[in-house]
Structure 1
Amino acid sequence: MPFSVRLRLLACSLCFLLSFQTAHSQTVPSFLKANPRWVDSVFNALTPDQRIAQLIMVAGFSNRSKGYEDSLMTLIKNYQIGGVVFFQGGPIRQARLVNRLQTVVKVPMLIAIDGEWGLGMRLDSTVRFPYQMTLGAIQGRDDLLYKMGAAVARQSRRMGIHINFAPVADVNNNPNNPVINFRSFGEDKESVARKALAYMNGMQNNGLLTSLKHFPGHGDTGTDSHYDLPLISKSRQQLDDLELYPFRKLIDAGASGVMIAHLNIPALDSTPNLPSTLSHKVVSDLLKNELGFGGLVFSDAMNMKGVLKYYPSGVADLMGIEAGMDVLEYTLDIPRAIAEVKQAIADGRLLQTDIDARCRKVLAAKAWAGLDRYKPINLMNLVRDLNEPESNVINRLLTEEALTVLKNDKEPSGEPLIPLLNLGTKRIATVSLDADQETYFQKMLANYTAVTHFNLSAATADTTLERIRNELKSYDLLLVGVHLSNIRPAVQYGVTPKTVAVLKELCETGKAVVSVFGNPYALDKLEGLDKARGLILAYQLTQFTEELAAQLIFGAIPAKGKLPVTVNQTYKLNDGISTPALSRLKYTIPEEVGVDSYFLTAKIDSLMQVAITEKATPGGVVQMAKDGKVIFRKAYGTHTYEGLTPTKVDDLFDFASVTKVTTSTLALMRLVDEKKFNLEKTMADYLPDFKNSNKANLVWRDVLTHQAGLKASIAFWVDTKNPDGTWKDKTFDEKQHGPYKVQITDNLYMHRRYRKTIFETIRDSPVSAKKDYVYSDLSFILYPQIVEKMTGQKFEDYLKQNVYEPLGATTLTFNPLRFYPLPRMVPTEYDSVFRKTLVWGRVHDEGAAMLGGVSGHAGLFGSSNDLMKLVQMYLQKGYYGGKQFISPETITEFTRYQFPEKGNRRGLGFDKPTFTYSGNAPRFASPQSFGHSGYTGTFIWIDPQYNTSYVFFSNRVYPSRTHTKLITLNIRTNIADALYEAIRRGPSSNLASILATP
């Protein structure tokens, strides 16, 4: 044996001993112990050339031509390459290509990907988790990063990927860093180490190899190593104190891989222009020996200018192996690389034992990753499996935790502006900058209250800008979204001069709350933010950041995030203002409350399809919430059987008898709280005209539970007809004139004095001596009079000013044609008897129509979302959006069984489940639940035991009220039961783990 070789063997032995002594406290990567029998068997079957090839990873793309794929296959077959690192492509295409490539190798290849934010970093149609800079803002929820890592591992394994080149462990303390920047967790080394560790453990503990990068630290560079060789002029002490800190922590914790960056660091190796990738002092002396790392050492991509600028391909690959590299990523010239390594062995510059040891290490990694039991990727349901709803939950939770409030001015009351209170007192406009159409941000803001949208982009004409500028003057608050389409410093983070100018002008109005959807360093490029009333940093532009920032503004979620970097003297590391949640509805997916969205959606879709097919209703809207979170909101069918107008979730429906519990009962509860209305008093106490009637002594508690003996209803319009079918005098006319002012239809007007006749008819109607349960409309027609007398306000004004507008339920209204276009409303019935026309945009109930459309028993219209706000307020014991509308005691009293001993199921105004199932309520509803149904096909149900609320809209009376299948098929309650079933099924094991809070 040549002396030089013996000397090298001795040196290696000494290095091993030193490494063991240094690293004895470190956790040994678990893959090193995987299936040694398989490793030995495979290793012994490999030729020397093939052992070298096991240390090489070629680049792969699944979005290129068949010719490219054929050439890649030939290369891999000829050289028996050890692995492929995939870049752009799609999941099905890549899976097919991987399956094809694996057929031509003796040893299954390791498949790698740069998936710093999940597979979506490289593959379309897959999950994109937040950037690491976004995650750096999260406080105290490292468990979520672990769960993200576990999800990335599940998706990677399903995709046939064995290594993720992540996490980034670089400390980004250079705002102008062109390559790391948003890919880092931030500038605080402790936070970077902690978060990288959580992410790494989530992946490794779930079967995915990882690779920390970019050793020894790429965070303080002003040069992109893809295009040049960065120089880091720090001292060894500075590197130890900062850059190396996270790597030490993660190596000690058992990191399976480390990627070496192309950096020139004289403090570590003074050789001029030598990339750290090719430095024995960096790779072997520092990483392996001093830090005791025993896992896989990967090069950064060997096609980058950071390495090729001074060393040609092939030569650079050999130097990487000589430096101590285990795996060369993205080798450009594979034949030359293998030839160079072989020649170095022949020359004694490299030992075959070095190559063999590294080859065994790679084979051990393959065994750990399951390649000792290789199976092709199953293409069945691949895209669906890669987009598991659990990942959607993690994405939402991570984004929610990261959102950071950096400015929050006080209101005149002394309360912080964010979250917004007192919704009924402000005119609000939304302004999305750099967006030429309505954004997710704007759509979500509109879920909370009435807002007017404005969009401005680089293409917006100056004349349009001037018009918008003038229109915005009439608004009290401007909710501004800055939608930055680029996150990289090289293009100013997507900030344009026009954006800067318009934003500055908006902030100077003193009315702007600004949400920035972009890189935190972009704050330094945006002028005028100091004059904004509020500032929210969302870190990047995604559907999740836009929707959740909007929810934060309205208090559906709190603000918890802190800046992970220092931007300038104004916005510094760890800045961030906490804001509370206000118990407003949050909008999310079923999985966030432990419900399987596939199951729930399939059940509801099926039931609605039956309803439409059986002509139980032409269409409808279903909305559900659990735990204060809207988890289902979907429209079905069309407005009519004949029409082509699809039903939309924000369509307005006639509530019918749901009006009873959303107007009259609501007002009475507030009056009870104010001690103006006493349930034990009689009709005569509050209705002077009834003092001498047969109803004078009827007690309100009995009346509200429908056991006072009142008639079920009165067809008031019937008495207005003469025997020959003409209208009686002083009843109706086809034209509006004189006293005929109450519009019923476009061609029918009622005499204004006939309203008095309606109330007199109720007063003089018979009362049954039997006080049995008989559902009656009559008392609810009277409640508006009581409310107006006690409050001094018109019934509708009282409800809107005191409840609907503060709730943000601005579509709740009588006579909606005053405010909304007809196409937004769903028609009810073609009335062939009384009104002789299609009832559309006006109340269906004849009695309510004769009362001018405003009554306490029917006539309210609105959207499902706005109704759910009121319903949710009931569920939350009268509290919503930071305001107590009704006392908990009163809610409890009105929604309990009042006379169960009599077999009466009713609460006060509210319906409740029958004592033996009859279909009026969901089969699985609890005794604490309550709600109401409406004749036109509406339904609400609230269940405190399950913390659920449910709104169902349909127009089942179209085209005629003879259509009763919606009722006989129990569509409304069966859909509610789908939610109960979904809740009872419980979450999957993966989901349960994600939802568990440490």
Structure 2
Amino acid sequence: MKFKNSLFFFLVFAFFQNVIAQENQQKITPAFLQYENSKWVDSVMKSMSPRDRIAQLFMVPAYSNKDEEHIQELLNLIENQKIGGVVFMQGNPKEQVKIMNRLQAASEVPLIGAIDAEWGLGMRLENTINFPYQMALGAIQGEDLIYDMGKEIAKEIKRTGLHINFAPVVDVNNNPENPVINYRSFGEDKQNVVKKALAYMNGMQDEHLLTTAKHFPGHGDTDTDSHLALPKINHTVKRLDSLEIFPFRKLINAGVGGIMVAHLDIPALDSTETPSTLSKPIITGLLKEKLGFQGLIVTDAMNMKGVTEGHEPGVVDKQAVLAGNDLIEFTEDVPKAIAEIQKAIKQGLITQEEIDEKSRKILAVKQWVGLDDYHRISPKHIEQELNTPEAKLLKRKLAEASLTVLKNTGDLMPLMRLDTLKIASVSIGSGEKTEFQNSLDLYTKIKDFQLSREAGTAEIDSLRKALKDYNLVIVGLHDFSIRPNNVLKLSDEVKSFISEIARNRQSVFSVFKNPYVLNKIDNIEDAGILIETYQDSPLTEELAAQLIFGGIGANGKLPVSIGTKFKAGYGLEVEGGIRFEYTLPEEAGMDSDILNTRIDSLMQVAMDAKAIPGGQVLVARKGKVVFYKAYGLHTYDDTIEVHKNDLYDLASITKISSTLPLLMQLYDEGKFDLSAGIDDYLPYFKNSNKEGIPFRQILAHQGRLKPWIPYWKNTLRKNGSYKWFTFKKDSSARFPIKISDDLWLHRHYKKKIYKAIKNSPLEKEAKYKYSGLAFYLTPEIVERLTGTDFRKALNNRIFDRLGATTLTYKPLEQFPLRRIVPTEHDYFFRHEPIHGVVHDEGAIMMGGVSGNAGLFADANDLAKLMQMYLNMGKYGGHRYIKESTLKEFSKTQFPENDNHRALGFDKPYLEYRGEDSNTAKDASKDSFGHTGFTGTMAWVDPEEDLVYIFLSNRVIPTRENTRLYELNIRTKIQQVLYDAIKE
């Protein structure tokens, strides 16, 4: 074959040795070619006129968000011009399916439908999934997830009635200033590009979706957007062959179905300044003959200025066909294009046989994708089917696997010893609290700040001053643009401030931007921790926060070099799984549909029945929080919605959340003995009927203690007034304990409570009888054994290290009233609604701090404590309690005495009692936890690695409301967890 371009002969010679080496390599023929001469293709070819066969080569754009006039234009092209296909652009999936069905019904030959969905349907269609951009995927180690993504994207595209994806991008991006490829590339390493592209390609093609590797012969090293002008690439043939063309050769050998040709001026391949889309030396000579590609050759969009400049619509499409393209995308003038090709046939520039060959190839694709047996696509449930939990989980896994840690000075991450850290977070580029900051807050107490992109000296000075109070600063560098381009729109003052913070090694930076911007920030590489996420989204923000605290790990590697700061392939590995990961149920082997629909339904039943006005439910499995929701209102007669960070009165869950963990620690230290009695630690109880009763019996609730004592009633005279030495209406040094605004308790009344406990009679038999009396005494026992104030010991030893900062007594000391859910309207003691203080009368008379009640928390922080128990004493990389101790305390102590209780912990009844049981039917015998009078439940099951938290205020407006018990809501929801576990 002769070519006008003399340079091509030099290209042939330059390629010669390479081609010889490649000849012995086994090539996989594109799968669709098996149908090129099938009976169906033959029959369709016979039914079409020569003109119709030309028309098969053209695809026009279609939009599912345009009006009927647009659809009529498409129908006209189908019915009168007999075009071969459409390329769907913006819109929504339901309308797209409806339109595609109409178009197919109007077409004599089934239409091929394509979409440019490089990162999934979300690139084009509303209410569909955006998978990570290819640069993020380039950071992933291994290709299995990318293969799975290819399969998922193929299924989704097919579900919308389409058959071709104009992906993957296989351009090697080695130009940081590339305005059009950049984040769309797998990176600068050609081998990595090939591995990732092959995985993506194979995933799609294994689902019978045609793929088109693009943008041939390589668009990575340009600084011009071919949508706006014709880029020029001035590399030698040798360089092009070894780098730009390398991925295309590999995918061709692996059987890629299609190749998309770019609009590029490449003098080394064609010296005539002809765009590569129109270049016969590049398409026919190089792609088809030298690289041996037999599949479908597709043009890039023919409305882009890189090809339209100086070329007339219709005429330019003819030139593309003459150059060797099979399928012309975005033809702007179909009738003229067909006429021009007919003219070219008459002129001998191309033969009808060559056109027929292209038409057969297109028909073969149509048969391979199943259009020989076309069925109408149903729009019913399409959005649900395009947003499956499995697809969402895959997206999460991909984003997580891409996270790249570039600095981790002194293994600072994951953050340990939260009790030693005073943390501030700064989101730069956001005017409001970000998802990143919300996710950071799940792990510990953090003060949040925002800094605008254009901040000046005054705003920065104010923030600088505020940050002096913190010993760790976490910075989120945000990018809320549609695409993560290599752009850094920050004021000089903000850039300087970022550099200042980075020089402090106690700084954490999470960059939610294109990695190339790191080269535009001085000293960013000096930060204590530096994380690159590649793009900004709620998901990447959430995952970055989890990485910082060890909920997840990271092993991503940079797919591109960042100047001289970091080279491609660099990335540190960080351990995860030491604290909660917040994820989807499917990642923990649970069914999200069962959890969501059934828990929502049961909570609605409870609220409709006025069993509770609202509540919180948290579920964790395998160390992963998979369900965490807030429901309803604070009270029945207000409009304040429950939020996930609202605090509830835990009631008796206090027993296992306050003194019990401290007693277990003291047991580990040899300071607390289960065989000892109260009198061994509180001598005041010597010579009482409590003397010698071992704590093993007491904590298992068979120490013969009375269930409770109504202490407040002991303060009343016979006429109903209070005894003078108990309460006063105003506070004073002698009456400092606030019960209500006009009720203040004597400072020594605790002694009266102790005396009442000491003098209380014992039950006749040592058998199970639930009692809270001993838990009034345990805080003082802890203080005697530790030499530390009880609350201080509890915070220092347990809560602060857990990051459980809402687990607290006296919540009004730390939290605004609006975050605390009210409890009962007290008409018999305090004579006021109870809000912000403990509901239990005995606990409020202990000053609000007791071992039997008084703790408040949100579900998330309570779950951290319960997860520590489930982990047999370990959480966040720290061991709180010995495993042997937790096993001892959480096992049933006296089953032979018909007692199901453990030490402090509740356990399932020895025999399941149906609706009267204290746990779900499927809760294992190893499970343990506690419930609370206010309508709470905290339970763990080691057998299924489950944590379950239920918080409510069922006592609003009165404790007489027992509908929560009657409906058995707590245990019914618990059973849902077991039902949701997948085998």
TM-score (norm 1): 0.94
Q: Are the equivalent residues in 1 in contact too, given 2:280–2:324 (CA < 8 A)? A: yes
Code of the aligned partner of 1:550: A
RMSD over aligned Cα atoms:
1.8
Task: Choose the corresponding residue for 1:41, options 40, 43, 50.
Answer: 43
Q: Does 2:793 match 1:791?
A: no
* Distance in 2 (alpha carbons) for counterparts of 1:509 and 1:188: 33
Aligned 1:613-652 pairs, distance under 5 A: 613-652=608-647
Q: Are the equivalent residues in 1 in contact too, given 2:486–2:517 (CA < 8 A)? A: no
* Distance in 2 (alpha carbons) for counterparts of 1:108 and 1:975: 51
Q: Paired residue for 2:355?
A: 355
Q: Paired residue for 1:560?
A: 555
Shift of 1:901: 2.0
Q: Paired residue for 1:962?
A: 960
Q: Paired residue for 2:274?
A: 274
Q: Paired residue for 1:932?
A: 930
Aligned 1:199-218 pairs, distance under 5 A: 199-218=200-219
The answer to which of 864-873 and 82-91 deviates more is 82-91
Shift of 1:102: 2.0
* Distance in 1 (alpha carbons) for counterparts of 2:454 and 2:191: 44
Shift of 1:288: 1.9
Secondary structure of the residue that 1:598 maps to in structure 2?
helix
Q: Paired residue for 1:548?
A: 543
* Distance in 2 (alpha carbons) for counterparts of 1:371 and 1:490: 39
Secondary structure of the residue that 1:182 maps to in structure 2?
helix
Aligned 1:570-609 pairs, distance under 5 A: 570-581=565-576, 583-609=578-604
Q: Paired residue for 2:445?
A: 450
Task: Choose the corresponding residue for 1:128, options 127, 130, 134.
Answer: 130
Aligned 1:238-637 pairs, distance under 5 A: 238-270=239-271, 272-410=272-410, 416-458=411-453, 463-486=458-481, 492-581=487-576, 583-637=578-632
Q: Are the equivalent residues in 1 in contact too, given 2:611–2:963 (CA < 8 A)? A: yes
* Distance in 2 (alpha carbons) for counterparts of 1:636 and 1:791: 40
Q: Are the equivalent residues in 1 in contact too, given 2:263–2:306 (CA < 8 A)? A: yes
Task: Choose the corresponding residue for 1:657, options 643, 652, 655.
Answer: 652
* Distance in 1 (alpha carbons) for counterparts of 2:505 and 2:466: 16
Cα deviation, 1:926-960, whole Å, max 9, x if unaligned, reads: 11111100011010110111111011000011111
Q: Paired residue for 1:116?
A: 118
Cα deviation, 1:323-366, whole Å, max 9, x if unaligned, reads: 22110111112122111111111122211111111111111111
Q: Does 2:61 match 1:66?
A: no
Q: Are the equivalent residues in 2 in contact too, given 1:170–1:218 (CA < 8 A)? A: yes
Secondary structure of the residue that 1:685 maps to in structure 2?
helix
* Distance in 1 (alpha carbons) for counterparts of 2:538 and 2:112: 34
Secondary structure of the residue that 1:211 maps to in structure 2?
strand
Code of the aligned partner of 1:946: E
* Distance in 1 (alpha carbons) for counterparts of 2:433 and 2:539: 15
The answer to which of 275-284 and 49-58 deviates more is 275-284
Secondary structure of the residue that 1:441 maps to in structure 2?
helix
Q: Are the equivalent residues in 2 in contact too, given 1:486–1:493 (CA < 8 A)? A: no
Secondary structure of the residue that 2:432 maps to in structure 1?
coil
Q: Paired residue for 1:9?
A: none
Q: In 2 relative to 1, CA 180–491 (structure 1 residues): closer, same or farther, beyond 3 Å?
A: closer
Q: Paired residue for 1:973?
A: 971
Shift of 1:501: 3.2
Aligned 1:802-817 pairs, distance under 5 A: 802-817=797-812
Cα deviation, 1:871-901, whole Å, max 9, x if unaligned, reads: 1111111111111111111111111121222
Task: Choose the corresponding residue for 2:706, options 711, 723, 728.
Answer: 711
Code of the aligned partner of 1:846: E
Code of the aligned partner of 1:371: L
Q: In 2 relative to 1, CA 299–495 (structure 1 residues): closer, same or farther, beyond 3 Å?
A: farther
Secondary structure of the residue that 1:210 maps to in structure 2?
strand
Shift of 1:645: 1.0
Secondary structure of the residue that 2:487 maps to in structure 1?
helix
Secondary structure of the residue that 1:259 maps to in structure 2?
strand
* Distance in 1 (alpha carbons) for counterparts of 2:475 and 2:486: 22
Secondary structure of the residue that 1:100 maps to in structure 2?
helix
Shift of 1:490: 7.4
Q: Paired residue for 1:693?
A: 688
Code of the aligned partner of 2:918: N
* Distance in 1 (alpha carbons) for counterparts of 2:445 and 2:720: 45
Q: Paired residue for 2:9?
A: none
Q: Are the equivalent residues in 2 in contact too, given 1:582–1:880 (CA < 8 A)? A: no
* Distance in 1 (alpha carbons) for counterparts of 2:494 and 2:374: 53
* Distance in 2 (alpha carbons) for counterparts of 1:736 and 1:464: 44
Q: Paired residue for 2:147?
A: 146
Q: In 2 relative to 1, CA 546–811 (structure 1 residues): closer, same or farther, beyond 3 Å?
A: same
Shift of 1:68: 2.7
* Distance in 2 (alpha carbons) for counterparts of 1:487 and 1:123: 14
Q: Which runs of 5+ in 1 are unaligned?
A: 1-17, 411-415, 987-998
Secondary structure of the residue that 1:407 maps to in structure 2?
strand
Secondary structure of the residue that 1:356 maps to in structure 2?
helix
Code of the aligned partner of 1:484: D
Shift of 1:497: 3.7
Q: Paired residue for 1:7?
A: none
* Distance in 2 (alpha carbons) for counterparts of 1:493 and 1:460: 14
Q: In 2 relative to 1, CA 599–164 (structure 1 residues): closer, same or farther, beyond 3 Å?
A: same
* Distance in 1 (alpha carbons) for counterparts of 2:94 and 2:324: 36
* Distance in 1 (alpha carbons) for counterparts of 2:511 and 2:810: 40
* Distance in 2 (alpha carbons) for counterparts of 1:267 and 1:805: 66
Secondary structure of the residue that 1:454 maps to in structure 2?
strand
* Distance in 1 (alpha carbons) for counterparts of 2:455 and 2:521: 19
Code of the aligned partner of 2:151: A
Q: Are the equivalent residues in 2 in contact too, given 1:174–1:221 (CA < 8 A)? A: yes
* Distance in 2 (alpha carbons) for counterparts of 1:367 and 1:624: 48
Q: Are the equivalent residues in 1 in contact too, given 2:163–2:210 (CA < 8 A)? A: yes
Code of the aligned partner of 2:926: Q
Secondary structure of the residue that 1:580 maps to in structure 2?
coil
* Distance in 2 (alpha carbons) for counterparts of 1:932 and 1:661: 7
The answer to which of 89-98 and 364-373 deviates more is 89-98
Task: Choose the corresponding residue for 2:99, options 94, 97, 118.
Answer: 97
Q: Paired residue for 1:413?
A: none
* Distance in 1 (alpha carbons) for counterparts of 2:589 and 2:385: 18
Q: Does 2:686 match 1:684?
A: no
Cα deviation, 1:748-768, whole Å, max 9, x if unaligned, reads: 111112110101111111122
Aligned 1:214-229 pairs, distance under 5 A: 214-229=215-230
Code of the aligned partner of 2:953: N
Q: Are the equivalent residues in 2 in contact too, given 1:434–1:499 (CA < 8 A)? A: no
Shift of 1:152: 0.4
Q: Paired residue for 1:942?
A: 940
Q: Are the equivalent residues in 1 in contact too, given 2:176–2:486 (CA < 8 A)? A: no
* Distance in 2 (alpha carbons) for counterparts of 1:306 and 1:642: 65
Cα deviation, 1:51-78, whole Å, max 9, x if unaligned, reads: 0111111112222333233223222321
* Distance in 1 (alpha carbons) for counterparts of 2:733 and 2:945: 53
Q: Which runs of 5+ in 2 are unaligned?
A: 1-18
Q: In 2 relative to 1, CA 156–463 (structure 1 residues): closer, same or farther, beyond 3 Å?
A: same
* Distance in 1 (alpha carbons) for counterparts of 2:549 and 2:779: 32
Task: Choose the corresponding residue for 1:85, options 83, 87, 95.
Answer: 87
* Distance in 2 (alpha carbons) for counterparts of 1:376 and 1:582: 47
* Distance in 2 (alpha carbons) for counterparts of 1:812 and 1:280: 73
Code of the aligned partner of 1:957: V
Shift of 1:40: 1.5
The answer to which of 314-323 and 346-355 deviates more is 314-323
Identity between Structure 1 and Structure 2 (%): 50
The answer to which of 658-667 and 457-466 deviates more is 457-466
TM-score (norm 2): 0.95
* Distance in 2 (alpha carbons) for counterparts of 1:529 and 1:163: 42
Secondary structure of the residue that 2:607 maps to in structure 1?
helix
Q: Does 2:768 match 1:768?
A: no
Q: Are the equivalent residues in 2 in contact too, given 1:437–1:455 (CA < 8 A)? A: yes
Code of the aligned partner of 2:198: L
Shift of 1:298: 0.5
